[in-house]
């Protein structure tokens, strides 16, 4: 079932009829032969695929030269709400991680390191700044001034909605159905692969999947979306200022 979900994420973007038919047939088989949890997972995957398809159509076909560049960018990222809506209606209530205040002093545990949520986030943000700083300096202050409003609009909208979808709605729901560990891997890989529709290559998408895994870990261990949204927002701003994302 996890493979089916990943196949849907990739197949919708590739517009591959053969892959779509395979996923549909496999989904029908699993639905009628699986448990109630299996059916819930498949139903969630189906609603995600409907919303994701609607988002791609709206953002690529309907939103074009709609006025100022900032407004166009906002509308394209805001069209992620087409993914949110069916998943949110399915749940009937706020997802487990969404509205909770983070416990900044909770432990953040990795196989090779243990610290607090707050300390890990500060170290991660500092490391990210060091990585992107040479590219930002190369672009110069004038580029930053010109891209400032675009960076804020893109980064805030993108971070809020992508984290709501992948960590707020999908991770919380999949955790209850297939376990936290498997849900982390599935949602992280799906998060990374969905960037293919934004023009990134598959290798870069797998790199984003690794980032998604860390977003998921900090969400689970802090019991809140707030740290992941902050981290995601800051990385998006750095990527815009460095020229790696052309808004």
Neighbours of 203 (CB within 10 A): 8
What would the two tokens of residue 15 be? 């517009």
Output the pLDDT for position 181: 93
pLDDT of amino acid 27: 77
DSSP assigned state of 197: G
pLDDT recorded at residue 90: 77
User: What pLDDT score was predicted for residue 236?
Assistant: 96
Compute the average pLDDT of residues 9-25: 81
- 69's tokens: 């560049």
Q: How confident is the model at residue 180 (pLDDT cuts 50, 70, 90)?
A: very high
> What are the pLDDT digits (tens) for 34-93?
788 888 898 899 899 999 999 999 988 888 666 677 788 888 899 999 999 998 887 755
Q: Which of 247, 79, 74 is nearest to 148 (CA)?
A: 247
pLDDT score, position 247: 59
Pairwise CA distance, residues 181 & 178, whole Å: 8
**What pLDDT digit, counting tens, does each position of 124-135 carry?**
999 999 999 999
State residue 68's pLDDT score.
Answer: 74
For residue 65, the model assigns a pLDDT of 64
Q: Are 174 and 87 in contact (CB under 8 A)?
A: no
d(CA 138, CA 159): 25
For the segment 92-104, the average pLDDT, to the nearest whole number, is 73
């Amino acid at each position: 079932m996890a493979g089916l979900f990943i196949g849907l994420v990739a197949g919708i973007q590739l517009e591959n009829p053969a892959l779509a038919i395979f996923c549909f047939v496999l989904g029908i088989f699993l639905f009628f032969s699986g448990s109630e949890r299996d059916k819930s997972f498949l139903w969630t995957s189906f609603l995600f695929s409907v919303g994701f398809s609607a988002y791609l159509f709206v953002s690529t076909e309907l939103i074009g030269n709609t006025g100022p560049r900032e407004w166009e960018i906002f509308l394209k990222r805001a069209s992620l709400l087409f993914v949110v809506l069916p998943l949110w209606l399915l749940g009937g209530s706020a997802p487990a991680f969404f509205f909770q205040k983070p416990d900044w002093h909770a432990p953040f545990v990795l196989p090779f390191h243990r610290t607090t949520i707050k300390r890990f986030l500060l170290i991660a943000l500092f490391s990210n700044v060091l990585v992107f700083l040479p590219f930002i300096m190369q672009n110069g202050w004038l580029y930053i001034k010109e891209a400032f409003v675009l960076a804020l609009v893109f980064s805030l909208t993108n971070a809020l909605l992508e984290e709501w979808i992948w960590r707020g709605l999908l991770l919380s729901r999949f955790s209850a159905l297939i376990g936290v560990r498997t849900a982390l891997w599935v949602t992280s890989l799906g998060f990374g692969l969905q960037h293919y529709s934004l023009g990134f290559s598959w290798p870069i998408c797998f790199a984003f999947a690794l980032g998604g895994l860390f977003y998921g870990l900090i969400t689970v261990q802090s019991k809140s979306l707030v740290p992941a949204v902050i981290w995601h927002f800051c990385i998006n701003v750095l990527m815009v200022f460095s020229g790696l994302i052309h808004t």
